[in-house]
Structure 1
Amino acid sequence: MKKLHALLVLAFIVQSATAQSSLLWQVSGNGLKKPSYLFGTYHILKDSYLDQNTKVKTAYQNADGVVVEMVVDSSAMLNMAMRALMLTNSLPNLISEKEYNLVAAEFQKATGFDLGLFNQVKPIVTSTMLSLAYLEKESDTLKRFTGQPLDLYFAAEGKKLGKTVTPLETMEEQITMLYDHDPVEKQAKQLVQMVKEKGNMRKTSQSLTNLYLSEDLNGMWKLSEQYGEQYGDMTYLVDERNRNWMKKLPNLMAVRPTFVAVGALHLPGPNGLIELLRKAGYKVEPL
């Protein structure tokens, strides 16, 4: 269940080392000629959100480079679709008939799709669709925002403005992390558990949205910690990726002032980017 809750929580990851609330942080010192910026995104939030957050717009405009988690590569889309398939297996073979009917009814209700269309798709894909449906339907406050998802906006707008846009991961790396980290048998069990615990999932989706819009990193961190204790290790989704990103960020920021936009839950925690940057000698301040 760790991954399924992380998919609700995969829009974000945080540290309570500071009592100040902010999604935007200035990174300076350690030889940087100009400051760079670290911003925590919410992957399904649309870009009109920035109309009410001028400090983020200003930081973005002041940066010559943009760093995002991933840039969509059209040439990799076919590979992504193929990697999502179970060519020699199907969901009815992985769970009981009773469990399948339970999931099918909930999937139809939440997404409007017949689960049968996804029988030979890896269960993690179905889980992701279901979790996003919960987020969108339960978080009414998100509906007032329009445009592109924030991460896509930062990358696309950066290219239009002539900024250097750099992804921290390739589509292949993200596909491997999401589709292949757990065997399909485990993914199927997690899907069933997710449906059985849908009440908690819906409550969590609204809580995450409210915490993000209030820029409460500490609150998001505490919530992610609760799920970490309850549902197991999520280090591969956050900590390991943060460590890999820290092998790239110093060089990128040294070349040009850079706006780094990653899921908000990557910012805090003892293994979050805020703390890792500080340990590397940078001054990291909330704006």
Structure 2
Amino acid sequence: MTSLRILFFVLLALPQTGLAQSLLWEVSGNGLKQPSYLFGTYHILKDSYLDKAPTVRTAFDAAQGVVVETTVDSSAMLNMAMRALMPGNSLKKLLSEPDYQLVATEFKQVTGYDLAMFNMMKPIMTATTLSLGYAEKEVDTLRKFTGQPLDLYFAVEAKKKGKAVTPLETMEQQMAFLFDHDPVEKQAADLVKLVEEKKHTKGQSQHLTDLYLAGDLEGMWKLGQQHEEKYGDLSYLVKERNQTWMGKLPTIMAVRPTFVAVGALHLPGPEGLIALLRKAGYEVKAK
């Protein structure tokens, strides 16, 4: 994965042209007795952001159920850790000595960690950690928000309030997208490219964050289109998962008014949740 692709994985936000500037959408009609709400999250944004988004808090508080992409399952943590490892392999084996030193120097400078700590982990783990480090250093606005990451906040607060919490995927499924989609050889090559291309990708994290905070679906769509033209299709991260989720969401929303919080990338586009819900007969409008 390139740095922008990794950032999109972390953010999962990419809307469609022609949509209103909103991250919160009301879903009604098609037999629903009460409306549900669809909200596009930014996975690394902290929950104090909601102080500036009272309509989102209102929709969340009114819902009887909450849907998130996944919930933290302590019993799956060991399996996740094992999935991230490369038995019999290492970064030192996958990278040439010059490339290893290039990555090690950059990794230490950006994250504060020695690359040796990640030597036995799949390269995508190192690349993701490095990309998050770039985003945190580059995006001043992210540091202004405090609390829990948005998705975790919604799941935790929903349980506290006695709301039904439904994950759309298991942790194992989500980690499979990250760790197993590309062979480790390609992951290693992309890790080196991530460091080599950092000057060309500078400013992308800030730009993407600004678009999100403005609710600029049009701008995010255009950025996503440019990314796909340059780096390839993201259907395995977005379109295929949207189709799977659409097999679950109508039944969930029919049972109770639901607040659906998923990465904003999943909301729009011809195969985004907004379009798919409308195609299924629902009225979906910006709030």
Tell me, yes or no, whether TM beats 0.5: yes
Distance (Å, rounded) in 1 between the aligned partners of 2:186 and 2:241: 22
Number of the residue aligned with 1:109: 109
Distance (Å, rounded) in 2 between the aligned partners of 1:176 and 1:19: 31
CA-atom RMSD, angstroms? 1.1
Matches within 5 A, 1:239-258: 239-258=239-258
Distance (Å, rounded) in 1 between the aligned partners of 2:201 and 2:7: 8
Number of the residue aligned with 2:7: 8
Distance (Å, rounded) in 2 between the aligned partners of 1:230 and 1:101: 28
Distance (Å, rounded) in 1 between the aligned partners of 2:5 and 2:221: 12
Distance (Å, rounded) in 1 between the aligned partners of 2:16 and 2:7: 21
Matched, 1:59 2:59: yes
Number of the residue aligned with 2:281: 281
Matches within 5 A, 1:66-105: 66-105=66-105
Structure 1 position 48, deviation (Å): 0.5
Deviates more, 1:217-226 or 1:152-161: 217-226
Structure 1 position 113, deviation (Å): 0.6
SS at match of 1:269: coil
Structure 1 position 62, deviation (Å): 0.9
Structure 1 position 265, deviation (Å): 1.0
SS at match of 1:116: helix
For structure 1, the residue ranges without an aligned partner over 5 or more in a row are none
Matched, 1:262 2:262: yes
Number of the residue aligned with 2:166: 166
* Amino acid paired to 2:135: L
Matched, 1:131 2:131: yes
Distance (Å, rounded) in 2 between the aligned partners of 1:25 and 1:202: 32
Distance (Å, rounded) in 1 between the aligned partners of 2:235 and 2:137: 28
Matches within 5 A, 1:109-258: 109-258=109-258
Structure 1 position 39, deviation (Å): 0.2
1:33-77 superposed Cα distances (whole Å, 9 cap, x missing partner)? 000000000001000000111000000011000000010000111
SS at match of 1:40: strand
Deviates more, 1:19-28 or 1:157-166: 19-28
SS at match of 1:124: helix
1:13-42 superposed Cα distances (whole Å, 9 cap, x missing partner)? 334343410000000011100000000000
1:243-276 superposed Cα distances (whole Å, 9 cap, x missing partner)? 1111110100000000000011111111111101
* Amino acid paired to 1:252: I
Distance (Å, rounded) in 2 between the aligned partners of 1:129 and 1:15: 25
SS at match of 1:48: helix
Distance (Å, rounded) in 1 between the aligned partners of 2:19 and 2:252: 29
Structure 1 position 91, deviation (Å): 0.7
Tell whether the 8 Å contact from 1:41 to 1:261 is kept in structure 2 after alignment: yes
Distance (Å, rounded) in 2 between the aligned partners of 1:152 and 1:200: 32
Distance (Å, rounded) in 1 between the aligned partners of 2:93 and 2:62: 54
TM-score by length of 1: 0.97
* Amino acid paired to 1:260: V
Tell whether the 8 Å contact from 2:17 to 2:221 is kept in structure 1 after alignment: no
Distance (Å, rounded) in 1 between the aligned partners of 2:285 and 2:165: 23
Tell whether the 8 Å contact from 1:80 to 1:175 is kept in structure 2 after alignment: yes
Structure 1 position 202, deviation (Å): 3.1
SS at match of 1:251: helix
Deviates more, 1:90-99 or 1:58-67: 90-99
Tell whether the 8 Å contact from 2:15 to 2:264 is kept in structure 1 after alignment: no
Percent identical residues: 65
Distance (Å, rounded) in 2 between the aligned partners of 1:66 and 1:281: 21
Distance (Å, rounded) in 1 between the aligned partners of 2:112 and 2:153: 27
Tell whether the 8 Å contact from 1:135 to 1:202 is kept in structure 2 after alignment: no
Tell whether the 8 Å contact from 1:13 to 1:272 is kept in structure 2 after alignment: no
Tell whether the 8 Å contact from 1:108 to 1:114 is kept in structure 2 after alignment: yes
Structure 1 position 80, deviation (Å): 0.6
TM-score by length of 2: 0.97
